[in-house]
Amino acid sequence: MKRSGLVLIVSILLVYIFLIGPLVIIGFSGFNESEFLDFPPKVYSFRWFFRIFESDMFVSAFQTSLLISVLGATGALLVGLPAAYSLSRTRAKWRRSVLSLFMSPVIVPGVVLGFALLKHVVIALDIEVWTGMVMGHMLIMLPYVIRVIVSSLSNVPIEIEEAAVSLGCSNTHAFLIVVLPNIRSGILAACLLAFITSLNDGPVTIFLTGPGVTTLPIQMLSYVEYYFDPTVSALSVLLMLLTVAIMIVIESTMGLSFFTKK
């Protein structure tokens, strides 16, 4: 075998070990019977999984997370759908710049975004914790929503709308009965992708939490500051399963090609 081939294989292996290794360790330790996080477990059990559902702080944090993600996704969709539609239909020169602007929350580090939101929006405008949290999540979801819907709209040529209009539809009606049914799977994929992004977010959320309002990842973070039992590992396993399930749904509805498409 050529030397370069060997180097490639070794580096691929290393990447996979560093990427997947920690997840495997966490996965195993979630099934540990013992009171402490150790690896590999000596006795396996599901007790920490049951513990999660018995603990009020995780259940209520998860409910908060769900509510915030659902509200944020709805908001992101309400803003993102019209934005994606106009972006995909315009031929103006500013199209690219505006698209990049909408993508910027992905590029700016979460910590920066979270801190900026806290200092210059939430505190400056004296916004209530819940509202600030939903707004922040809407912001981090917006790029995904726009990206996926723009990509999905590129498969719906404008002539289809014009055909509907020439046959007697108003512009709005044409959008509702001709465009919308053809981007349904794109919208679903956009929402799910935004949803998991929001559900798993830590860096932005940590700045926006307040009394009585905390999300699951933040709750997990504060839990591991005090406890060393495998509850958080068990919870991580559940979150990973949820993410994998959602990704499978996205892949089967519209594919993940929008990540690579321009």
* Complex with another protein: residue 70 or 165, whichever CB lies closer: 165
Phi, psi dihedral angles at 6 (to 5 degrees): -65, -45
Q: Is 255 in the site for another protein (CB under 8 A)?
A: no
With contacts defined by CB under 8 A, name the span among 13-21, 109-117, 160-168, 230-238 that binds another protein. 160-168
CB of 85 vs another protein, minimal distance in Å: 17
Question: In which element (H, E) is residue 44 found?
Answer: none
Q: Is 178 in the site for another protein (CB under 8 A)?
A: yes
Question: Cβ distance 68 to 198 under 8 Å?
Answer: yes
Question: In which element (H, E) is residue 139 found?
Answer: helix 129-153
Q: Which residues, 6 or more positions from 120, have their beta carbon under 8 angstroms from its beta carbon?
A: none
* Complex with another protein: residue 165 or 238, whichever CB lies closer: 165
Q: Give the binding-site size for another protein (rule: CB under 8 A).
A: 16
Query: Mask of contacts with another protein, 179-208, x by CB under 8 A?
Result: --xx--------------------------
Q: Which of 3, 159, 212, 262 binds another protein (CB under 8 A)?
A: 159
Query: What is the C-alpha to C-alpha distance for residues 80 and 143, in angstroms, rounded to an integer?
Result: 8
Query: What is the C-alpha to C-alpha distance for residues 254 and 187, in angstroms, rounded to an integer?
Result: 9
Q: Is 160 in the site for another protein (CB under 8 A)?
A: yes
Q: Which of 2, 42, 107, 168 binds another protein (CB under 8 A)?
A: 168
Q: Is 165 in the site for another protein (CB under 8 A)?
A: yes
Q: Is 121 in the site for another protein (CB under 8 A)?
A: no
Q: Is 166 in the site for another protein (CB under 8 A)?
A: yes
- Alpha carbon separation from 82 to 200, 208, 262 (Å, rounded): 26, 27, 19
Six-digit token string for 199: 């559900």
Q: Is 176 in the site for another protein (CB under 8 A)?
A: no
Q: Is 5 in the site for another protein (CB under 8 A)?
A: no
Q: Is 163 in the site for another protein (CB under 8 A)?
A: yes
Residue 48: DSSP 8-state: H
Question: Cβ distance 134 to 201 under 8 Å?
Answer: no
With contacts defined by CB under 8 A, name the span among 45-53, 176-184, 227-235, 247-255 that binds another protein. 176-184
Query: What is the C-alpha to C-alpha distance for residues 137 and 213, in angstroms, rounded to an integer?
Result: 14
Q: Is 170 in the site for another protein (CB under 8 A)?
A: yes
With contacts defined by CB under 8 A, name the span among 11-19, 69-77, 80-88, 161-169 that binds another protein. 161-169
Write the Ramachandran bin of 35: left for phi over 0, alpha for psi from -120 to 50, otherwise beta: alpha
Query: What is the C-alpha to C-alpha distance for residues 11 and 128, in angstroms, rounded to an integer?
Result: 48
Interaction site with another protein (CB under 8 A): 157, 159-160, 162-170, 173, 178, 181-182
